[in-house]
Every structure is written in C-alpha cells, then in structure tokens.
Chain A
Amino acid sequence: DAMVIQNPRYQVTQFGKPVTLSCSQTLNHNVMYWYQQKSSQAPKLLFHYYDKDFNNEADTPDNFQSRRPNTSFCFLDIRSPGLGDAAMYLCATNRDLNQPQHFGDGTRLSIL
C-alpha cells in the first residue's frame, strides 16, 4: 500500500493560474519535503517541514509556498506558475533527518 500519496499524478494549469499540489502520508513521519525534478536532473529541494517548523531553501522562488495543516498532509502552492515551473514535483517523508526518505510517485505539472 502506498505510504506517501500525491494527488493528482498529472496536473495541467495555465500560465499564471495558481495551482496546489497535495501530499499525504500514513507513516506518521515528522519530516515532509517538497522537491522539484526536471527531466534528466536530480531532485532539487524546495523546502521541508520538521513537524510544524517550516524550512525554506535559500534559492526557492517566492512563487512557491507550502502548508502543513497536520502531520499527515502537506501542500505545495504555486502562486503564478511560469513555463519554467513545468516539472515533476516529489513529496518525501522521513521519521527524522538523516533517515532514508520515502517518496511519493510525484505530480507531473504541465503549464499551458
């Protein structure tokens, strides 16, 4: 059974139209991460939550925001998507930092 679930698997939005991607986990892990992965590239960390503490990477654009209303759910909000934001967005969790991460299957975002 999937333990990190991302919805939807595929998302199409229009240039500049806000979009929200969701991630849920059944592992009760403390840490949840959002990564952006473009074709043939390594995943790039956008931000992570350790419990309720939000940690933003220095080079994550302001266009990207995140919410974690409870332990199980985490959302990625893209306020005004640009063509360069088309990518696979991966959610991952772990019980603690420096533990193996459990990844969801990602949401592939396309921008029209």
Chain B
Amino acid sequence: KNQVEQSPQSLIILEGKNCTLQCNYTVSPFSNLRWYKQDTGRGPVSLTIMTFSENTKSNGRYTATLDADTKQSSLHITASQLSDSASYICVVSAHSGGGADGLTFGKGTHLIIQP
C-alpha cells in the first residue's frame, strides 16, 4: 500500500531560525514528489515538485531535497518568518496509467513560528 509519512507532526520554532521537515514514502512506481504549504483556512499552495532525477529544488527560502534511493524527502526553511506558520504537506505521485488515484498525501507537519 502506498504511504507517505511526515515528521514531526508539529513543530514550534522562533522567528529567524531554520527548520527541516521530513517526508518518507513507500509509493511505487515513483513519479514525482511535491511539497505544499497550507495556511489555516486556505487551500494548499504548491512550493516545489521534484522528479526522480532531481535531488534538490529551491523556492525562495524553501529548499526541498529528494533521495529516491532511500525514499526520503526533506523541506528546509531558512530564516523563518511569522508567515511561514502553516501546515506543510508532502504529496507523492505514482505512475498509475494516468489515474488521479496515483497521488498519496501525507498528513502534514503543522509549523508554528513564534516571535
């Protein structure tokens, strides 16, 4: 069964500090891995998408890494800001012959930035 596990479940850090969120998956055959940011009461917004051949991708202060061998990804946030407070969701896409059920969502990491 395809699964995506995220850790930690929640995290509190001080403004200006860095943090790293983890995503482990057992999705096969792998197509791509996406990180989304979901603010409270809003829809998820795409941060990065990585395919098998990519092992790092940045979007401003967000840097995602992918190790397809160990089936692990991380999202590193640099110099955190109060606006980074949100849930971060890891989504892994499998090659499924075109079916949308190829997407497996993690439960997210709830990040709180304190001033």
Using CB atoms and an 8 Å cutoff, list the residues of chain A in contact with chain B. Answer: 4, 6, 31, 33, 40-45, 48, 50, 55, 57, 90-92, 97-98, 100-106, 108
Contacts and interface: CB of A to CB of B under 8 A. Distances in A.
B107 A98 contact: no
Q: Which of A90, A91, A97, A106 gathers most chain B CB within 10 Å?
A: A97
B47 to A, nearest CB: 9
B interface bracket (residues with beta carbon within 8 Å of A): 20 to 34
B42 interface: yes
B64 interface: no
A104 B41 CA distance: 11
Given A43-B105, A100-B49, A105 B32 contact: no
A105 B49 contact: no
Interface of B: 31-32, 34, 36, 41-46, 49, 89, 93, 98-103, 105-108, 110
Nearest to B96: A97
B106 A42 contact: yes
Contact of B100 (A40, A44, A97, A103): A97
Contacts of B100: 31, 33, 45, 48, 50, 55, 97
Contacts, number: 56
A57 B44 contact: no
Contacts of B107: 40-42
Nearest to A2: B43
B41 A105 contact: yes
19 contacts: A4-B43, A6-B43, A40-B107, A40-B110, A41-B107, A42-B107, A42-B108, A45-B100, A45-B101, A50-B98, A97-B98, A98-B31, A98-B32, A101-B46, A102-B46, A103-B45, A104-B43, A105-B42, A106-B43
Contacts of A102: 46
Contacts of B42: 105-106
A68 to B, nearest CB: 14
